[in-house]
Structure 1
């Protein structure tokens, strides 16, 4: 259960509804997503802003040249292609790294470059550019390296490449490393620390988060940076339209897929890119991507953000976790349908194995967290640092995310690294900047990087307990920060929802981080009967009613143990048994957070409600 906060944003909902042909309820939802503050509500929810939100197209994408070094990097790459250099794209082993590598490698190939690609082995190479990868490129006769989704923190590795006479271009989207300069006193006598960015010594460093750039929207993924780099590079070629054909249209699919899988906020141009990606993917010409869609039994015409984040994305990620990410990348380059079908099947099998391994790791991590309470006077540590030496290092981040969700605390999961020491990933909560707090302990690490909500790190085993103590001693989170907040759009009786309204909500898609699916609240929903469903008995289906006397269907896909504990505590164990036997007396009234949905079964559609939370 979370702390509920009902939005109270103001706008002329009736006028917006009339102007844009939507219901008042939908107008309220749009205002909730656009308005940032009372002071800016008129501008945030202007007709122009609402029009951009509902009908924004590719004309809203920002000028790539506003990124520092973008024009310089493209010009250098053009010159290297013209000179006949051997070029290597070095990406990362997650979905963003795979997609950005594909965007660059495919585009450079079409423009006539001598190009190949390498994705690091998670275990042998670690994250991003390494000395080993640089040396292997030298041995292969590579003249130019272009990174994607990595490189901003690879100063040592890039310096090594430059010492060997290589050209290096960085395209990345991660936080720029920094140092805090000595405090300066201003005229008021206040002390103010200033950050000094540490850029790698590459020939060009392209990252929207650079302080000296003018790019208006910083929160784009590596694949979008790569896409924009190719846009600028193509302008140097007079015949680029002939060479590239529909390249930029097709590559929007991968930019959108990476945006969702890297959990970028679906605001500004990200929203446009993902919307276009979802529109285009059903018509993709890529044999490998089509095979992956079919292997997961997806309807090409009805692919949603959910399928990106929880079906297709995990299959691609599984290769980088349990095998080599280049297998996923080769799927995108595959042109034989039979071969692509076999490759896609292997990716799905890998992901199924990853799911089993993850469950075992999460169970063990929860045991350790409960054991740690003894060291903190019976309370949970503010920051969870969990060492699972026997867990495959590739799933540390997934385990950290699931433990974070259960306890709602910043969580770092570490495993024994193949090359010695410990290695792992962290996942954070809204009130805790993980990158900044790890930066304060950077002398403990052999390597680390990331951003506010997630990070990766390597360190000697003997530093694990030191890290746990330091992070907890320096943590200023208060008790209320450990209670997640569920943002409710409005209180709305169930009877106000219908299938037409749910279809109107489709205009607000794509839903995801930064543009959540609508959530409503209703008091005193009466639970009449229920069934537990699923192979692992992990969801419930209920008949409910409200003051109108109508009967509705409600689903719950959350933590069933927590739901049953809540019902038992409030109504008693016998009442829970009565619920599932259909013998309730109408007294089981629950405050419910929900969203309305459409259930399609054997060609018939019906309204159903999905419960998000309960009080």
Structure 2
């Protein structure tokens, strides 16, 4: 039995009478209903995202005030500064608003703070510098909702501030001349726009028309910032993907070439290729390079910058790997109580720009909220990023202990913060207590929401294409997850480091490939022919122009008992891997059997002692170290213990099965020779039978032992002779005779059988619950 590492939540399908009436397949209809879409009109809007479904920007509070001030600044040739952020959302927001302002003839420029010297968001020094440089108006994009102090500073120095943002609103809203923010706009129907979405709304309002030419920028921030891809965001993402696919913007073209993108751009291309490269710039240096790339006038200029960004992204990946390794080691070395619910690690010298990525890796590794901080001893502060699990609202709980922070901001699942060094331990205790009070053990397991169950024969290219109608996928509209239950035909390790699994499932002469990344450590715990339950995404694998359906697996489980076949292995210490979480026992039917190869601490149950009877109910895994004398002995042991895992680790000593069992004719031959000779030296008899009949020494000895036990012959030193007055007895009365028959049967079934035959026999042994009193008494 192999337990799943995540919680599986199976969505209930639509009721039998439910029908959308939109001409979609039953499968798509089911998926739509699971996403809360219950009418044909809703289905149409979802499956056919249209620009007509976007909300009017004038419903955003203060957007009219903001536009009036901006148009006034343009008319008066007043310098305007767009104040952005250093991530992909902030960079794309900056470029969107800059292009709109320049189209209107504004005298404008941009400023993005340095992550390392200034930190996140507006700061007083930057505002004062803007004033000194002649700027009369600052417009923030993707930032500013927490800039209360900076807004006051702006008032004092005589510079107007317009804030456009989408992050969570804190206790109070900054005193800017306008705050354009969906969550501050009761009349605006959708509150989950990305920062670039808000900037785009302002651009549309300013320009007086819908600027489709900016959609190739809007899609970058919308997808990269992981906002819910529903409602307006779905429209912007869908239309934006079309726009970026055909974009002639030099910066976009160069960036796509750098990513190796040719053809239709998908949400995954944005999320895993384009977005990370833009983010890499601000993580390692000023984000200006990313802005200039998107503003580039020629492809040649853009290509040079894209190459530099590619180098930065590679450097970023190396830095992340190094810090993640150090952080993981720190977590494992911490006292258990320090990271029992929330992980906080801090170290001097860590690059602040990548700590959010490191925090995400820790969350995936330990299933805990994680805060990763870079320590600055000269300032007496620690600064970093946090990521959370679904069940723990990071923003809410951190706001409950806001006094521990110098600065804080973010979302339910991600945040950034600065705090004094002496507050780190206090924050650790406070958040661990909050999580302890709010969460259950199940909350710490990642969850998978299963949309439907499929069989191998259900999976096809057409099915996958049908499901793709729900794209683009993202937050609140994830790729459909399916559960597949099927026997494995094959499982093997793949990848340069052998840390991935490749499966072949087979059912009704149909095969399906499955790939499970990063779970190579499960390989020793998967047995041939296991009925595997796998949860993952269906996809199309293209190779040499051929398309093939496959499942990309996220989690697996085996619900039934498992057999691990190590019969005859000479390398048991290397090949047998026991699960530490299982209560394991080794059963010996012969006390002389060597079990020194077992390095784990396991219980030893000798069948001929009373230990087996006392082990019932506690043992979940059984190692069979040797063969039983009788099949009944093993049957009783298995149904008494009912293990979930059985390791067959025995070898044969005598090879009784291969030697075979003498037939009655051979017994007659042996006896006839003795009748004729009356008495003969045993060695002479053995040599004669070997030469004349080809018998082995073991065959001669077995027959003589049977006859001796039945008192048909006498043995006197090295001489064997006929008993002149034997009792009339059947060969089957001999224990030696019966013992060999038992040994042959044991070896035949338990050793020389194929895997499936052995598992079938053990299955029957495990399922028989009745306890025969005669067997229970024997040796127990």
TM-score by length of 2: 0.69
Q: What are the equivalent positions in structure 2 for 1:458-537 lying under 5 Å apart?
A: 458-475=418-435, 476-533=438-495, 535-537=496-498
Match of 2:394 among 430, 434, 451: 434
Aligned length: 550
From the superposition, tell whether residues 508 and 13 of structure 1 become closer, same or farther in structure 2 (CA, over 3 Å).
Answer: farther
Match of 1:67 among 60, 70, 82: 60
Give the match for residue 375 of structure 2: 416
Deviations 1:545-567 (A, max 9, x none): 13x23222211224333x33xxx
From the superposition, tell whether residues 81 and 305 of structure 1 become closer, same or farther in structure 2 (CA, over 3 Å).
Answer: same
Give, in whole Å, the separation in 1 of the partners of 2:308 and 2:369.
34
1:295 aligned to 2:258? yes
Give, in whole Å, the separation in 2 of the partners of 1:433 and 1:606.
40
Give the match for residue 192 of structure 1: none
From the superposition, tell whether residues 357 and 528 of structure 1 become closer, same or farther in structure 2 (CA, over 3 Å).
Answer: same
1:170 aligned to 2:170? no
Secondary structure, counterpart of 2:383 in structure 1 = strand
Give, in whole Å, the separation in 2 of the partners of 1:302 and 1:257.
15
Match of 1:116 among 106, 109, 118: 109
Secondary structure, counterpart of 1:137 in structure 2 = helix
Cα deviation for residue 544 of structure 1 reads 1.9
Match of 2:307 among 345, 364, 368: 345
Cα deviation for residue 13 of structure 1 reads 7.7
Give the match for residue 30 of structure 1: 32
User: Could you tell me whether the CA contact under 8 Å between 2:97 and 2:200 is conserved in 1?
Assistant: yes
Cα deviation for residue 519 of structure 1 reads 1.1
1:151 aligned to 2:144? yes
Instruction: Flag structure 1 segments of 5+ consecutive residues without an equivalent.
Output: 36-43, 179-197, 236-240, 242-246, 576-583
Cα deviation for residue 441 of structure 1 reads 1.6
Give, in whole Å, the separation in 1 of the partners of 2:334 and 2:530.
37
1:396 aligned to 2:355? yes
Give the match for residue 290 of structure 2: 328
Secondary structure, counterpart of 2:219 in structure 1 = helix
User: Could you tell me whether the CA contact under 8 Å between 2:405 and 2:420 is conserved in 1?
Assistant: yes
Match of 2:504 among 529, 543, 546: 543
Give the match for residue 92 of structure 2: 99
Secondary structure, counterpart of 2:161 in structure 1 = strand
User: Could you tell me whether the CA contact under 8 Å between 1:558 and 1:612 is conserved in 2?
Assistant: no
Secondary structure, counterpart of 2:334 in structure 1 = helix
Q: What are the equivalent positions in structure 2 for 1:250-399 lying under 5 Å apart?
A: 250-299=213-262, 301-375=263-337, 380-399=339-358
Q: What are the equivalent positions in structure 2 for 1:154-233 lying under 5 Å apart?
A: 154-178=147-171, 198-210=172-184, 213-233=186-206
Secondary structure, counterpart of 1:22 in structure 2 = coil
Q: Higher relative contact order by CA 8 Å / sep ≥ 6: 1 or 2?
A: 1
Give, in whole Å, the separation in 2 of the partners of 1:287 and 1:525.
51
Secondary structure, counterpart of 1:510 in structure 2 = coil
Give, in whole Å, the separation in 2 of the partners of 1:596 and 1:470.
42
Give, in whole Å, the separation in 2 of the partners of 1:602 and 1:524.
28
Give, in whole Å, the separation in 2 of the partners of 1:11 and 1:227.
41
User: Could you tell me whether the CA contact under 8 Å between 1:167 and 1:203 is conserved in 2?
Assistant: yes
User: Could you tell me whether the CA contact under 8 Å between 1:217 and 1:268 is conserved in 2?
Assistant: yes
User: Could you tell me whether the CA contact under 8 Å between 2:488 and 2:503 is conserved in 1?
Assistant: no
Moved more, 250-259 or 83-92: 250-259
Give the match for residue 580 of structure 1: none
Cα deviation for residue 594 of structure 1 reads 2.6
Cα deviation for residue 25 of structure 1 reads 1.6
Give, in whole Å, the separation in 1 of the partners of 2:382 and 2:499.
34
Secondary structure, counterpart of 1:552 in structure 2 = strand
User: Could you tell me whether the CA contact under 8 Å between 2:128 and 2:157 is conserved in 1?
Assistant: no
User: Could you tell me whether the CA contact under 8 Å between 1:13 and 1:27 is conserved in 2?
Assistant: no
1:4 aligned to 2:18? no
Secondary structure, counterpart of 1:282 in structure 2 = helix
User: Could you tell me whether the CA contact under 8 Å between 2:486 and 2:505 is conserved in 1?
Assistant: no
Give the match for residue 601 of structure 1: 543
Q: What are the equivalent positions in structure 2 for 1:33-52 lying under 5 Å apart?
A: 33=35, 35=36, 44-52=37-45
Give, in whole Å, the separation in 1 of the partners of 2:137 and 2:352.
31
User: Could you tell me whether the CA contact under 8 Å between 1:86 and 1:142 is conserved in 2?
Assistant: yes
User: Could you tell me whether the CA contact under 8 Å between 1:267 and 1:515 is conserved in 2?
Assistant: yes
Q: What are the equivalent positions in structure 2 for 1:449-460 lying under 5 Å apart?
A: 449-460=409-420
Cα deviation for residue 11 of structure 1 reads 4.9
Cα deviation for residue 538 of structure 1 reads 4.1
From the superposition, tell whether residues 538 and 325 of structure 1 become closer, same or farther in structure 2 (CA, over 3 Å).
Answer: farther
Give the match for residue 406 of structure 1: 365
From the superposition, tell whether residues 559 and 65 of structure 1 become closer, same or farther in structure 2 (CA, over 3 Å).
Answer: farther
Max Rg structure: 2
User: Could you tell me whether the CA contact under 8 Å between 2:49 and 2:238 is conserved in 1?
Assistant: no
Instruction: Flag structure 2 segments of 5+ consecutive residues without an equivalent.
Output: 558-780
Moved more, 593-602 or 395-404: 593-602
From the superposition, tell whether residues 267 and 525 of structure 1 become closer, same or farther in structure 2 (CA, over 3 Å).
Answer: farther
Deviations 1:77-123 (A, max 9, x none): 11111111100000000001000000011110110000000111101
TM-score by length of 1: 0.86
Give, in whole Å, the separation in 2 of the partners of 1:297 and 1:51.
34
Cα deviation for residue 443 of structure 1 reads 1.4
User: Could you tell me whether the CA contact under 8 Å between 1:540 and 1:556 is conserved in 2?
Assistant: yes
User: Could you tell me whether the CA contact under 8 Å between 1:531 and 1:542 is conserved in 2?
Assistant: no
Give the match for residue 579 of structure 1: none
Give the match for residue 729 of structure 2: none
Give the match for residue 773 of structure 2: none
